[in-house]
């Protein structure tokens, strides 16, 4: 019987992050100022510390992981690579399915990989407080955890619908010292503006980002900065420890380079973390199918245009070249809160545009069915976001059975769903339905970018 758990010794943990910017074909487009002019990196200084800005614009292939950060993340890293033998048996597939178990971290997801790094670099720069947004609460929990460990204050603006749907996430943040408020809130001028215009809004990540940035740049002491849990280059960089570990673990399992690599994608961080080290192989000739998965209710990669857009609703961020549904987009209240972002990481977007990735969208009913199949075979209850990757894994495994092909499928298990059981209950009670975002809603939302520079 093959091993179900492939473990990596702490001494073999990757000691450098992989920066895909050094290898991407084409020329990833640079950010622009809100006025559409070339952006000097120093313009980001009121928002991020300079040591993270340097990572954001770096073109170096490898960036050292400080020993102090490794000492913190040894709490859960290296994370296990697991073989989904029970799902394979259930599906009667010849495919061998592996998943990187990022639910092993204390907050239960991949998010601490960058939360710890960002908190550490901010602390080193002399910052006292971080502000941020969170959708489903995974990122807010992770940053609260990281700030507690390094000694920073943490303020989290949580999208209203998730704030109401996932009360236990707020308690997790509070345990680790985080201050969580619902967004839009009365605590910022932009939040008050949105509440006046749309008092019943479910909120959005774009709105929450605007509030967090407003508080950070409004601190006259200069000791507050903003922290983003996805989208930006330095976030993708920190997450590559996932894929770098997976490469070593597949070798231990005597496996070849995977045929298929899959991860769910909201802003892109967990997907990039697993896939970017394998995209290096694909860029250099390996035959790998790499699939980011997203909801049909928020189909950024599968239906949005590649365009310059703001990362937030108040247009405070630089213009990023990315796939987008428009910065005014307010997504429907599906339970995969971490996948409800209007945009996508510029590096993931560029890889799609270059034909390196094959994005797919899945509706929430199919995803919850896949999640239940996973729970009844592998035994683990996944986060609603992760279920989009599982739905794709099942499709690919069934395809392998139909074709009679021996394939290796690798997935990122981005987090557990123990804080998300209300969504499961609604699904099992028959209260969730398929939802595909209408083209008319996309067209309406994209009005917000029609006067912005073209990508």
Give the pLDDT of residue 455: 85
pLDDT at 313: 87
What is the pLDDT at residue 337?
60
First-to-last C-alpha distance (Å) of the chain? 51
**CATH architecture of structural domain 5-12+74-108+240-449:** 3-Layer(aba) Sandwich (3.40)
Q: pTM, whole model, 2 decimals? A: 0.96
Alpha-carbon gap, residue 247 to 273, rounded angstroms: 12
Asked if 226 and 216 count as a contact pair (C-beta separation under 8 A), the reply is yes
Alpha-carbon distance 304 to 156, whole Å? 28
What is the location of CATH 3.40.50.1100 in the chain? Answer: 5-12+74-108+240-449, 17-63+111-226
Alpha-carbon span 87 to 80, nearest angstrom: 17
What letter does residue 136 receive in the DSSP assignment? Answer: S
d(CA 420, CA 336): 9
Torsion angle defined by CA atoms of residues 350, 352, 356 and 358, in that order, rounded to the nearest 10 degrees: 160
Torsion, Cα 30 35 41 47, to 10 degrees, reads: -120
Q: Decide yes or no: CATH 3.40.50.300 for domain 17-63+111-226.
A: no
> If you write DSSP's letter for every residue of 211-236 in order, what string do you get?
HHHHHHHT-TTS-EEE--SSSSHHHH
> What gap in Å lies between CA 336 and CA 364, rounded to an integer?
8
pLDDT in tens, the chain (455 residues): 789 999 999 999 999 999 999 999 998 999 999 888 999 999 999 999 999 999 999 999 999 999 999 999 999 999 999 999 999 999 999 999 999 999 999 999 999 999 999 999 999 999 999 999 998 889 999 999 999 999 999 999 999 998 998 889 999 999 999 999 999 999 999 999 999 999 999 998 889 999 999 999 999 999 999 999 999 999 999 999 999 999 999 999 999 899 999 999 999 999 999 999 999 999 999 999 999 999 999 999 999 999 999 998 888 889 999 999 999 998 777 666 668 889 999 999 999 999 999 999 999 999 999 999 999 999 999 999 999 999 999 999 999 999 999 999 999 999 999 998 989 999 999 999 999 999 999 999 999 999 999 88
Of all residues in the chain, what percent are helix, strand and coil, respectively (each to 5)? 45, 15, 40
Element (H, E) at 289: strand 289-295
């Amino acid at each position: 019987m093959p091993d179900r758990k492939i473990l990596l010794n702490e001494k073999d943990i990757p000691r450098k992050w992989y920066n895909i910017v050094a290898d991407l074909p084409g020329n990833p487009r640079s950010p622009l100022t809100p006025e559409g002019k070339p952006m000097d990196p120093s313009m980001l200084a009121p928002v991020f510390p300079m040591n993270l800005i340097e990572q954001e614009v770096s073109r170096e292939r490898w960036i050292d992981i400080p020993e102090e950060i490794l000492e913190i993340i040894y709490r859960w890293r290296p994370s296990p690579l697991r073989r989904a033998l029970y799902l394979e048996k259930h599906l009667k597939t010849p495919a061998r399915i592996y998943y990187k178990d990022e639910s092993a971290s204390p907050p239960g997801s991949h998010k601490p990989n960058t939360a710890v790094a960002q908190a550490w670099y901010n602390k080193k720069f002399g910052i006292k407080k971080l502000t941020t947004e969170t959708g489903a609460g995974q990122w807010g929990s992770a940053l609260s955890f990281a700030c507690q460990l390094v000694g920073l204050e943490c303020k989290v603006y949580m999208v209203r619908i998730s704030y109401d749907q996932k009360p236990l996430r707020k308690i997790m943040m509070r345990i680790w010292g985080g201050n969580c408020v619902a967004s839009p809130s009365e605590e910022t001028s932009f939040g008050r503006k949105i509440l006046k215009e749309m008092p019943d809004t479910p909120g959005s990540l774009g709105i929450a980002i605007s509030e967090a940035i407003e508080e950070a740049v409004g601190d006259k002491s200069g000791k507050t900065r903003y922290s983003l849990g996805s989208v930006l280059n330095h976030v993708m960089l920190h997450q590559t420890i996932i894929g770098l570990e997976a490469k070593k673990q597949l070798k231990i399992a005597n496996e070849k380079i995977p045929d298929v690599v899959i991860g769910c994608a909201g802003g892109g961080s967990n997907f990039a973390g697993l896939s970017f080290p394998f995209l290096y192989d694909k860029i250099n000739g390996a035959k790998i199918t790499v699939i980011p998965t997203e909801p049909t209710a928020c189909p950024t990669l599968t239906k949005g245009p590649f365009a310059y857009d703001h990362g937030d609703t108040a247009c405070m961020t630089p213009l990023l070249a990315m796939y987008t549904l428009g910065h005014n987009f307010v997504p429907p209240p599906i339970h995969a809160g971490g996948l409800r972002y209007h945009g996508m990481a510029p590096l993931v977007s560029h890889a799609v545009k270059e034909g390196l990735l094959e994005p797919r969208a899945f509706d929430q009913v199919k995803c919850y069915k896949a999640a239940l199949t996973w729970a009844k075979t592998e035994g683990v209850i996944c986060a609603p976001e992760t279920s989009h990757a599982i739905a794709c894994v099942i499709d690919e495994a069934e395809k392998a059975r139909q074709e009679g092909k021996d394939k290796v499928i690798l997935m990122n298990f981005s987090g557990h769903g123990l804080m998300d059981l209300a969504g499961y209950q609604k699904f099992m009670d028959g209260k969730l339905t398929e939802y595909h975002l209408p083209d008319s809603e996309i067209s309406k939302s994209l009005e917000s970018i029609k006067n912005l520079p073209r990508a």
